[in-house]
Amino acid sequence: MGFRRADRGNMPGEPGTYLLLLRLEQGSRVKVGALGNFYFCPGYYIYVGSAMGGLSRRITRYFTPGRKTRWHIDYLRTEAGLVNVFTLAGKSRRECAVASFLSRKLPVPVKNFGSSDCHCPSHLFYCSADEEFQLVLKKLNRVIC
C-alpha cells in the first residue's frame, strides 16, 4: 500500500499524509506570507502535508477556490492549478520522512516552505514534468510505505 490518487469523491476521512501536485502554466511572482516574495518557474510543484484531523477535511480546502490564505501552500495555490492529490492514510506522521526523501530527488524552490513547525528544509518541491513526478512517486512508495 502506498500513496493513492484521491479526488473529491474518494477522500479518506482518517488522518494521514498527502501530496498535492500543482501546475504553474507560466512563471509568477508570489508573496508567500511572512516568507516573502518568490518567483516560481512554470512547471509542477509537489507539496507534502499532513492532516492528523482527517484527510478529507483538509484536502477539500484545496478544491475550494477563494479560501482564506492561512498556510504557505494557500499562497501558491492562488496561482497554480491543482492537478492531482495523493493520500496515505494512517496515524503515523510521515510528512517529514516523505519531505526528506523528496529533497534528495527534486529541487527545493523555496526554503522553509510549509516547514515552519519542523526541521525540514522545505515541504515544497519542483519538477519540470508530470512524468518526472510519476517516477519519483513510484520510488517513494517503495521506500516509505
* Least confident among 34-43, 60-69, 82-91: 60-69
Lowest mean pLDDT among 5-9, 35-39, 101-105, 108-112: 5-9
Separation of alpha carbons 69 and 77, rounded Å:
9
The CA dihedral of 132, 124, 85, 63, to the nearest 10 degrees, is -130
Domain boundaries, position 40: 4-140
Lowest-confidence pick of 5-9, 28-32, 126-130: 5-9
Let me know the angle formed at the C-alpha of 79 by 77 and 80, rounded to the nearest 5 degrees: 65
Domain count for the chain: 1
pLDDT band at 145 (very low <50, low <70, confident <90, very high): low
What's the mean pLDDT in 35-59?
94
Query: Mean pLDDT, to the nearest integer, of 45-61?
Result: 92
Specify whether the CB–CB gap between 41 and 76 falls below 8 A. Answer: no
Long-range contacts of 32-36 (CB under 8 A, 24+ apart): 32/72, 32/75, 32/76, 32/110, 32/113, 33/69, 33/72, 33/75, 35/72, 35/110, 35/112, 35/113
Are 77 and 32 in contact by the 8 Å Cβ rule? The answer is no
Which amino acid, one-letter code, is at 68?
Answer: K
Cell numbers for 65, please give them.
Answer: 477556490
Query: What mean pLDDT, rounded, does the chain reach?
Result: 92
Answer yes or no: is 58 within a domain: yes
Give the pLDDT score at 144: 77
Position with higher pLDDT, 58 vs 66: 58
Using only the alpha carbons of the chain, give its radius of gyration.
14
Q: What is the pTM of this model?
A: 0.93
Residue 145 lies in a domain: no
pLDDT in tens, 93-133: 999 999 999 999 999 999 999 998 899 999 999 998 888 99
Question: Do 105 and 132 form a contact (C-beta atoms < 8 A)?
Answer: no
Could you give the CA distance from residue 124 to residue 99 in angstroms, rounded to a whole number?
A: 8
